[in-house]
Amino acid sequence: MLRQSFLLVRLPPMLLSIFLFLLSAAIIYFACEFFVNGVEWVGHRMKLGATAIGTVLAAFGTALPESAVTFMAVVFGNTPEEKDIGVGAAMGGPLVLATLAYAVVGFAMWRKHARGQTAPIHADQRRLARDQAWFMGIFIVKLGLGLLVFAWKPWLGILFLCVYGVYVKRELSNDEDCLDCEDLEPLKLRPRDAEPSMAWACTQSVLALVVIGVASHVFVQQIGVLGIAMGVSPHMAALLLAPVATELPEIMNALIWVRQGKERLALANISGAMMIQATIPSALGIFMTPWLLDAPLLVAGALTLASISLLWLRFRSDTMTVPALARVGGLYGVFALYLVWHFTA
């Protein structure tokens, strides 16, 4: 009888968490519709190509929520455990992008193919391979620093910021054709304007980012609540569930662009977000923490490198297929199984 009464008391808060979880996910998707539409017009006004729009503009905007998680944890964390959350976010984010995000794009394309749309992947695979190569080089250094202890390690955070600056300069100076206005849907805030101004495009993009940020914060909170309710330890939730939540905007953007047939933008957005995750959150972690990686984080790093190596080989030879893209998601399942074993053994 007492048990039944307890369940009745606990049921409303749980239902509220589930409702907020679903509502925030829906809001993120809706806001991403406005963001990708706005950022395409910003890129068009700046005369950027589709790949540059995805790797720089869209990736930087949607990477703000997860970078904020790392920043708040490492700068304002009062305990080593709180700072570890930031380090976990800096390592977990790239794993999610390298596995689940690419897999979601692959499955979305697979679904289109099942409907009879058998067109190949429309993307500059060689250019995406160069992005994977950049990421691998940076990530190997990032992992190596997590195994070493020396006094001037924090200063190396500057190197990561400089590398991202060089990457952005390279992307923006690429001579790819500008995004064709015929490929753009009307700006949602100004649907009757054939050529909306840069001010309106920026306004829509920024407002959408604010909504994405707030909804992502609620989504992450509910992930934690539901994880605890399901018996998942806080450490495991931080490593397994929180990175998925913070990378949700990139995944949503990719789904929207695949739905619109803009595969270049979808893949470039993930590729650019990975470069941000390899540099900016890492720099914050190296600046503000000892940056020493424990076994789960090293396993996450190893699986990230395994996925990127597979992607690099296929993109480099221009042989990436939809099934191969979808299969990399299995590596995240391997990480989940490892965490279950690690925390229950």
Q: What is the pLDDT of residues 92-125, one digit of tens each?
A: 889 999 999 999 988 888 876 665 444 567 677 8
| pLDDT, mean of residues 286-304 | 89
Distance of CA 294 to the CA centre of its chain: 22
pLDDT for position 1: 44
Report pLDDT digits (tens) over 200-236: 989 998 898 888 878 877 776 777 677 667 666 666 7
Which of 10-14, 264-268, 272-276, 331-335 comes out lowest in average pLDDT? 10-14
| CA–CA distances in Å: residue 114 to residues 42, 144, 322, 323 | 33, 43, 11, 12
Domain assignment of residue 334, given as a range? 1-344
Pair of tokens at residue 276 = 């941000």
CATH number at 157 reads 1.20.1420.30
Is the pLDDT at 151 greater than 80? The verdict is yes
- Burial-class residue 94 by CB neighbours within 10 Å (0-12, 13-18, 19+): buried
The amino acid present at 285, given as its one-letter code, is G
Print burial letters for 219-258: b (CB count within 10 Å at least 16), e (below 16). Answer: bbebbbbbbeeeebeebbbbbbbbbbbbbbbbbbbbbbbb
Is the pLDDT at 177 greater than 60? The verdict is no
At residue 16 the predicted structure's pLDDT band, cuts being 50, 70 and 90, is confident
Is the pLDDT at 175 greater than 60? The verdict is no
pLDDT for position 100: 92
Q: Compute the distance between CA of residue 328 and CA of residue 306 in angstroms, rounded to an integer.
A: 9
Print burial letters for 19-35: b (CB count within 10 Å at least 16), e (below 16). Answer: ebbeebbebbbebbbbb
More confident residue, 99 or 245: 99
Q: What is the mean pLDDT of the chain?
A: 80
Pair of tokens at residue 165 = 């600056």
At residue 4 the predicted structure's pLDDT band, cuts being 50, 70 and 90, is very low
Structural domain count of the chain: 1
The count of other CB atoms within 10 Å of the CB of residue 284 is: 24
